[in-house]
Amino acid sequence: MEKAGNKKNELQMVDFFCSAGGVTCGFNQAGINVLGGIDIDPICELTYKNNNNAKYLCADVSDLDKSLIAKIFKIKRNQDNLIFVGCSPCQYYSNIKTDKTNSQNTRLLLDDFREFVDYYRPGYVFIENVPGLNKNPESPLGRFKTFLSAKKYVFEDSVINAKYFGVPQNRRRYVLVATRVKTAIHLPKEDKKHIKTVHQAIGDPVKYRPIEAGTKDATDFIHTSANLTCINKRRLSQTPFNGGSRTAWTNDIQLDCYKHHGGHTDVYGRMCWEKPSPTITTRFCSLSNGRYGHPEQLRAISLREGATLQSFPENYVFYSQNQGVIAKMIGNAVPPLLAKAIGEAISKNYLYG
């Protein structure tokens, strides 16, 4: 009889829409053999390959020959030990009220991913997206769930928060795990007793030394912070430490659009040491895009601080000279510790049902 410990190592994964490798990093930590990732963006290739020792296929899944990935990743159809991950770009489905024109071409990526699942019939499937993903039966998600049931997959889905899985960040996401090789599958259980704070994550003054706005760190640690205009330095200097907001500003530096508007107080705000951070978006390095001010220093959080709040290992290297590109790679990622929890739940299911 095969030993359970050996069976775990048989799990293999292909990471669709892999970006810089958040899911891949977490699945590696869970002991799953990641064969490689697929993404349309060539900018992510070095970061993905060099950190994860995995293949990177730069391609658009919308017109990718399905048989090609069998040759590249050495997979077969109907593999019980194979996991397909499809965490597609999510801007089109976001609850944030923004213009969706530029992201409409991403709205059918889940349909494209479904075709690969249909062709290969992997033993397991994992998808992650924003909570606003429409569950209507005629929506891409509705069609995907109907497809899974028709193909004899069982699944569990829910909106969960990454802060309950070791990620020092308040990040709500829709997740779904599915299998066709077991009679049931479950999402990992939330741990609401051990929530990691901003201070626990980035509060070490030796590792995350005090820096000024505009500091550029040329090392792989990228403790780099965006510059601030004079007026924004004045605004942040009037923002109370440890969770303060723009409501404390004097009227002469208040933004006109907020002088008679009480909402959006997170904008230009500071993070709180003793809470998880707000959601790390692709623009977390900019003070004007959310509560991304350092709890005490006169700056927005650095690139490395954002990566740490996303739960990337501190030795994870992001290959680009462009701060905006790195911030996008970090903000778009599935937090590795959340992915690790999902990977462990799949491994447990594969071993024990």
Query: Residue 55 contacts by C-beta under 8 Å, 6 or more apart in sequence?
Result: 35, 36, 37, 49, 72, 73
Q: Give the Cα separation of 17 and 58 in Å (integer).
A: 10
In degrees rounded to 5, what are phi and psi of residue 113? -60, -40
Radius of gyration of the chain (CA): 21
CA distance 283 to 55: 28
| Cβ pair 34, 346 in contact under 8 A | no
Question: Residues 342, 186, 56, 78: is their CA dihedral positive or negative?
Answer: positive
Examine the residue annotation and report whether 90 is marked as an active-site residue of this protein.
yes
DSSP 124: E
Per the CB < 8 A criterion, the answer to whether 59 and 109 are in contact is no
Percent of residues in the chain assigned helix, strand, coil, to nearest 5: 35, 15, 50
Which residue out of 18, 25, 44, 90 is catalytically annotated? 90
Question: Hunting for tokens 């003054």 — which residue is that?
Answer: 205
- DSSP, collapsed to helix, strand or coil, labels residue 255 as coil
Please give the Cα distance from 336 to 307 (Å, whole number): 10
Coil vs helix vs strand at 156: strand
State whether the Cα torsion 69-60-309-226 is positive or negative.
positive
298, 190 contact by CB (below 8 A):
no
3-state secondary structure of 242: coil
Give the tokens for residue 288: 């004007």
User: For residues 147 and 84, is the Cβ–Cβ distance under 8 A?
Assistant: no
Catalytic residue IDs: 90
